[in-house]
Amino acid sequence: MKNIAVIGAGTMGNGIAHTFAQFNFKVHLVDISEVSLEKGMYTIARNLDRMVAKEKISEADKLQTINNISTFTSLKEGVSNVDLVVEAATENEALKTKIFKNLDEFSNEKTILATNTSSISITQIAAATKRPDKVIGMHFMNPVPIMKLVEIIRGYNTSDAVMDTIVSLTQAIHKIPVEVNDYPGFVANRILMPMINESIETLYNGVAGVNEIDTVMKLGMAHPMGPLQLADFIGLDVCLSILNVMYHGFKNPKYAPCPLLINMVTAGKLGLKSGEGFYDYTESRKAEKVAKMFS
């Protein structure tokens, strides 16, 4: 298994492509937008430059990694003759279902189809294909080149052979696979998102300010990043989407998103990627914060 297609050149997609390419896999990075592909490749090059500066990799390693990535705007071309597809599009159930129908049609029948979804049912996504035994969840953490964890989620019909293959592949890129079952939010977000939501509720109710809430969690709970800053980093729209999946999946009001979160997303304040969330991100500060996250 040496040929990988990654669908989506955004934050997660370019990070996944970077990681596979760094371990000498041949990667097809696919996005319908040429601009998104250019931005994705720029991000990969910039992050590799940081790794060179920190002497984690050599200049030759950087060039080899970039040369291992080819970009495509055609899904059909991008997924032909690959062993694995990792879908990393927006966390939207309808969109992912449509993509998987197309992946099932365009890719080789032996190709494994993985989704980087952070909350949506693998079984439901697999039902859009004629190969549910070859559909699996690979939930990478952000930033992908740095974070070691990959949640491996088995759908109802995922075969043992596919599970074993993906676990081995995850280890081959120096990540740590953790197998979990297919329930809304899986493990990471089932625990993380209620904490983030409760932090937003704490702010919404006037218990404390943004800096105070994050400082308590960093100093008192030894978290490397406060929950509100982490929400900004993840994307408030993504947080809202995951909470809605859990709220509707479990029918439990404890997962209902805070009204402040809903309003901020409606207003376009999505966190780091929009320039404003719980914190203010000017271009200079944005670059500084991203650099620190990769340090």
List the domain range (segments joined by +) for residue 103: 3-181
In a domain, 295, yes or no: no
162 shares its domain with 257: no
**Cα within 13 Å of Cα(21), Cβ side:** 27
Of 116, 110, 117, 149, residue with least CA distance to 133: 110
Give the catalytic positions in this structure. 118, 139, 151, 189
In this structure, the answer to whether residues 79 and 137 fall within a common structural domain is: yes
Say yes or no: 60 and 76 in one domain. yes
| Percent of the chain surpassing pLDDT 90 | 94
Q: Select from 152, 181, 210 the last residue of a domain.
A: 181
Binding residues: 8-13, 31, 91, 96, 118, 142, 273
Banded model confidence at residue 289, pLDDT cuts 50, 70, 90: low
Q: Mind listing the pLDDT tens digit for each residue in 192-214?
A: 999 999 999 999 999 999 999 99
Is residue 48 assigned to a domain? yes
Per-residue 3-state assignment (H helix, E strand, C coil) for the chain: CCEEEEECCCHHHHHHHHHHHHCCCEEEEECCCHHHHHHHHHHHHHHHHHHHHCCCCCHHHHHHHHHCEEEECCHHHHCCCCCEEEECCCCCHHHHHHHHHHHHHHCCCCCEEEECCCCCCHHHHHCCCCCHHHEEEEEECCCCCCCCEEEEEECCCCCHHHHHHHHHHHHHCCCEEEEEECCCCCCHHHHHHHHHHHHHHHHHCCCCCHHHHHHHHHHHHCCCCCHHHHHHHHCHHHHHHHHHHHHHHHCCHHHCCCHHHHHHHHCCCCEHHHCECCCECCHHHHHHHHHHHCC
> Are residue 68 and residue 118 in the same domain, yes or no?
yes
| 7 and 127 co-located in one domain | yes
pLDDT of residue 290 exceeding 60? no
- Among 128, 150, 181, where does a domain finish? 181
pTM across the whole model: 0.89
Residue 142 has pLDDT above 70, yes or no: yes
Please check the confidence at residue 277 and state whether its pLDDT lies above 60: yes
Do 125 and 222 belong to one domain? no
In sequence order, the 6+-apart residues with CB closer than 8 A to the CB of 196 are 227, 228, 230, 231, 239
How many domains does the chain divide into?
A: 2
In angstroms, the CA 268 to CA 291 distance is 24
CATH number at residue 62: 3.40.50.720
> Annotated binding site for NAD(+), which residues?
8-13, 31, 91, 96, 118, 142, 273
